[in-house]
Structure 1
Amino acid sequence: MTVNKNARSDGRAGSILRRLGPGLLTGVADDDPSGIGTYTQAGSQFGYHVLWSAVVTIPLMVCIQVASAHIGRGAGHGILSEVRKHYSRKIATSMALLIILANVINVGADLAAMGDAASMLLGGGNYWYALLFAAVTLTLQIRLKYEAYARYLKWLTLALFAYIANLFVLHTDWHTAMRAVVWPTITPTKEYATTLVAILGTTISPYLFVWQSALEVEEIEARDNEKPIKVAASQRKAQETRILADTWVGMLTSNIVAVCIMMTATAAFFVHGVHNVESTSQAASALTPVAGKSATLLFSLGLIGCGLLAIPSLTGSAAYALTGALKLPSCMSKTPRNASAFYAVIGLCTVLGAVVCVSPINPIKALYWSAVINGVVAVPCMVIVMLLSSREAVVGKMTNSRAVAIGGWVATALMTLSVAVMLYTMLT
């Protein structure tokens, strides 16, 4: 977030944290419990040989997220609002409904993982903890205004350090890990290809585009001296610099944590011959005999913290998507009375996610189909993001730089290829 010039500095760490906002919040929201499960499974199956994928995707993530941020900051509206305006209401609504479907399944799986982690730490029924987490996240989204809400989320990012700390609890072969990043061994098998698609699909998801774009709009709404670049071109340079730095911090944080989780899974499972960890709760409980209770504690606490970060982004992006497509008020700075449909979608997604959590639906299968939907929806979303963010009629002078345009289209091509591979593996 930008700094309030009238505020007294409360220390270097707090000052730096205040300078970060949409990019950081989007990046850390990417490491949700379902993502943690994917990275854990990848590390347990292939060890250090998948680490390179998290490194390669960093610049691609930055480019597509910067393009998304340009739409929000340049136009002063979210992505789906601009899709409706420049394409059609039907396309915008269809995209929004698909995003909502994938997000609800993700929310349910995330709540289940958080409930399992809390149950292991404190005892008691996992469903009760899951419902408690659902109630807490929903209450905070409804009752807190954007600035207070964003401040709470930014401090919660410290939970991610649990996964970095785990590397020092376990015996990690740093030399082999770094060599695998620089000179990876790629296994030409269906399982390896599917794992890479899962990592890419987890890392680059449509809700992240919607979320960062929407948070840029929230930043404008929260500050009287800031306007959309389309009507205040003089603010372009400063905002472009801030967005680029903020997004790099967020995406680096996201992928560093992803690498740490893969390395943890490698050290705890792969080297001990355990190659099939199907859930985050199984991973946390299996850590104890290998690395001790401290590793299990750090893994579980990190999982809960990541879930508390991710669920608001999932329900919030769903609300921004649908209200934008339907041209309804959507702003966390507004009260539920002034943006009733927006908060209703947040509430509905949270409730439906809780229903998925307590239902007989297998969370692993639910996440699989969520990844399928996300992968398919991501392709047209990325194409539209790149087209909208390159048009002055949409973002004013805040069109993409050449580097962002090239990186964004490369990311789009890579995601298109991953969907083709995913569909091929489904049909064979």
Structure 2
Amino acid sequence: MTIAEAGRPVLVPELYPPAPAPLVGLRTGRRRRLVGLLRSIGPELLSGACDNDPTNVGTAAAVGAATGYQLAWVALLVAPLLGVVQVIAAQVGSVAGGDLQTLTLKRYGRRVAGVLLMSVLVVNMVTLVADLQAGAVGFGLLTGVDSRWLVAPLGLALVGLLLVGKYDEVVGVLRYLLLGFLAFAVAAVLAHPDWSRLAVSSLIPRLSLDRDVMGGGLALLGTALTSYVYVWETIQRGFEEPPDLTIGSRGLARAKFGAVIGAVFTAVILWFMLVASAATLGKQHEAVNSAQQAAQALRPIAGPLASDLFAIGLIISAVSVLPVLMASTGYIVGAQFDWRRGLSEPVSQARGFYAVLAASVGLAVAVTLANISVITMLVAASVIAGFGTPIGLV
């Protein structure tokens, strides 16, 4: 309603109350906070997810085929164990402001740092060879191409990603790839597990002296903690992430929260891997020696879609962890020799760092083409990681 005053219409305030504040600003603020939270926990989520490399995939498939659902609770037990290690690594990187290799060098000297360097380097290289080979085989399962022809292109593509992309861009790509791990969840559902038995086995631990059960439990726990996972966490938090995300009580709290989320994500995906194998191959008590063999064996039992999804999950696990292995190798060698390093550095100013990165891939491709079996490399990676991990943790 209006009243004419001086020939001009005037709104009566009582009849026309002010319009409510627009929701755009509120929604934008919430969106920014959500993006900020996801960005802050991204390093831990990526570090945790990288723990589910093809070595873990093969282990979970073999254990599920041999023991069925009996060790489902062990897969979930990985969450608190990995969470503790990742929280410590996040604290070290955030508070000390450096990666583990640099901090060891400053605190304990070059000799102790050299021991850490060699232990991580050996684990990284053997795991790099095994995972590169597994990734190529995964592509081969989907395309029908001999995996030997795919090893070098896969390695070159990943080197190109690290040479061209900056740290934020590389991590951004890897974060999106993490969604591919959900392929294991879909494969597990398509396998039609016995959900009641699975729930009991997941929530109520049952101990057994059976050799397969004991060995499978130790294998699941042994592959959960590898040195490159927590080393990469300290690199991200202490070296690459912006100071506003790491410094202060809020930044430290977010780092701890992200470490927990990453550990839970890793354990849940590992659980789905085991379920997919247990629900199919476990019924047949069919021996499985690798993730690739598990994907092939799923086809006649659970159908081609479940098999293809498992192969896709295998590819995602390899492609996600390979850049981390390559980059962390360059970081720790660069830290030991005080080179300029970082994925955000141009190649011309960090030649040593990128040379180590490229050389590690070249060596991995050469070893992979030497016709060493995939399972041999995966087992070797697990054993060496088991010996090398305590050095970094101590």
Q: TM-score, normalised by structure 1?
A: 0.81
What does the per-residue CA deviation read over 1:220-241, in whole Å, with 9 as the maximum and x for residues that have no partner? 4xx3x6387xxxxxx4211111
Aligned match of 1:278: 289
Percent identity of paired positions between Structure 1 and Structure 2:
26
Query: Which deviates more, 106-115 or 151-160?
Result: 106-115
Return the alpha-carbon distance in structure 2 between the equivalents of residues 295 and 13 of structure 1.
Answer: 33
1:315 paired to 2:326: yes
Alignment of 1:280-295 (within 5 A): 280-295=291-306
Aligned match of 1:57: 78
- SS in structure 1 at match of 2:154: helix
1:164 paired to 2:185: yes
Query: Which deviates more, 117-126 or 185-194?
Result: 185-194
Return the alpha-carbon distance in structure 2 between the equivalents of residues 290 and 85 of structure 1.
Answer: 55
Q: 1:339 to 1:217 in 2, by over 3 A?
A: farther
Query: Which deviates more, 139-148 or 312-321?
Result: 312-321
What does the per-residue CA deviation read over 1:351-391, in whole Å, with 9 as the maximum and x for residues that have no partner? 112122211222222222222221112112112xxxxxxxx
What does the per-residue CA deviation read over 1:177-213, in whole Å, with 9 as the maximum and x for residues that have no partner? 1111222332214443332232122111111111000
- Does structure 1 retain, via aligned residues, the 8 Å contact 2:101–2:332? yes
Q: 1:328 to 1:197 in 2, by over 3 A?
A: farther
- Does structure 1 retain, via aligned residues, the 8 Å contact 2:188–2:275? yes
Return the alpha-carbon distance in structure 2 between the equivalents of residues 9 and 68 of structure 1.
Answer: 29
Aligned match of 1:118: 139
- Does structure 1 retain, via aligned residues, the 8 Å contact 2:104–2:112? yes
1:301 partner letter = I
Return the alpha-carbon distance in structure 2 between the equivalents of residues 351 and 226 of structure 1.
Answer: 37
What does the per-residue CA deviation read over 1:212-260, in whole Å, with 9 as the maximum and x for residues that have no partner? 000113444xx3x6387xxxxxx42111111112111211111100000
1:77 paired to 2:98: yes
Aligned match of 2:270: 258
Query: Which deviates more, 204-213 or 94-103?
Result: 94-103
Aligned match of 2:367: 356
Return the alpha-carbon distance in structure 2 between the equivalents of residues 71 and 18 of structure 1.
Answer: 19
- Does structure 2 retain, via aligned residues, the 8 Å contact 1:89–1:326? no
1:289 partner letter = P
1:41 paired to 2:34: no
1:378 paired to 2:378: no
Return the alpha-carbon distance in structure 1 between the equivalents of residues 372 and 139 of structure 2.
Answer: 20
Q: How far off its partner does 1:48 sit?
A: 1.0
Q: How far off its partner does 1:143 sit?
A: 1.1
Indicate which of 239, 253, 257 corresponds to 1:241: 253
Aligned match of 1:144: 165
What does the per-residue CA deviation read over 1:311-354, in whole Å, with 9 as the maximum and x for residues that have no partner? 01112222222222233222221112222222122112111121
Aligned match of 2:122: 101
- SS in structure 1 at match of 2:201: helix
Query: Which deviates more, 347-356 or 78-87?
Result: 347-356
Q: How far off its partner does 1:114 sit?
A: 1.7
- Structure possessing the higher radius of gyration over alpha carbons: 2
Q: How far off its partner does 1:14 sit?
A: 6.0
Q: 1:284 to 1:13 in 2, by over 3 A?
A: farther
Indicate which of 347, 353, 356 corresponds to 2:358: 347
Indicate which of 361, 367, 388 corresponds to 2:378: 367
Q: How far off its partner does 1:13 sit?
A: 8.0
- Does structure 2 retain, via aligned residues, the 8 Å contact 1:72–1:217? yes
Taking only aligned residues, the RMSD between alpha carbons, in angstroms, comes to 2.1
Return the alpha-carbon distance in structure 2 between the equivalents of residues 200 and 245 of structure 1.
Answer: 22
Return the alpha-carbon distance in structure 1 between the equivalents of residues 33 and 109 of structure 2.
Answer: 47
- SS in structure 1 at match of 2:205: coil
Q: 1:85 to 1:377 in 2, by over 3 A?
A: same
Return the alpha-carbon distance in structure 1 between the equivalents of residues 158 and 258 of structure 2.
Answer: 24
Aligned match of 1:226: 244
Query: Which deviates more, 370-379 or 289-298?
Result: 370-379
- SS in structure 1 at match of 2:223: helix
Aligned match of 1:396: none
- Does structure 1 retain, via aligned residues, the 8 Å contact 2:46–2:262? yes
2:280 partner letter = A
- SS in structure 2 at match of 1:226: helix
1:251 partner letter = A
Q: How far off its partner does 1:286 sit?
A: 0.8
Q: How far off its partner does 1:172 sit?
A: 0.9
Aligned match of 1:29: 50
Q: Number of aligned pairs?
A: 367
Indicate which of 88, 91, 102 corresponds to 1:67: 88
Aligned match of 1:183: 204
- SS in structure 2 at match of 1:329: coil
Aligned match of 1:269: 281
What does the per-residue CA deviation read over 1:24-72, in whole Å, with 9 as the maximum and x for residues that have no partner? 1101111111210011111111111111112222112111111112222
What does the per-residue CA deviation read over 1:83-139, in whole Å, with 9 as the maximum and x for residues that have no partner? 111112122122212222222221121122222221121122211222221111111
Structure 1 residue runs of 5 or longer lacking an equivalent are 1-6, 229-234, 384-428
1:306 paired to 2:324: no
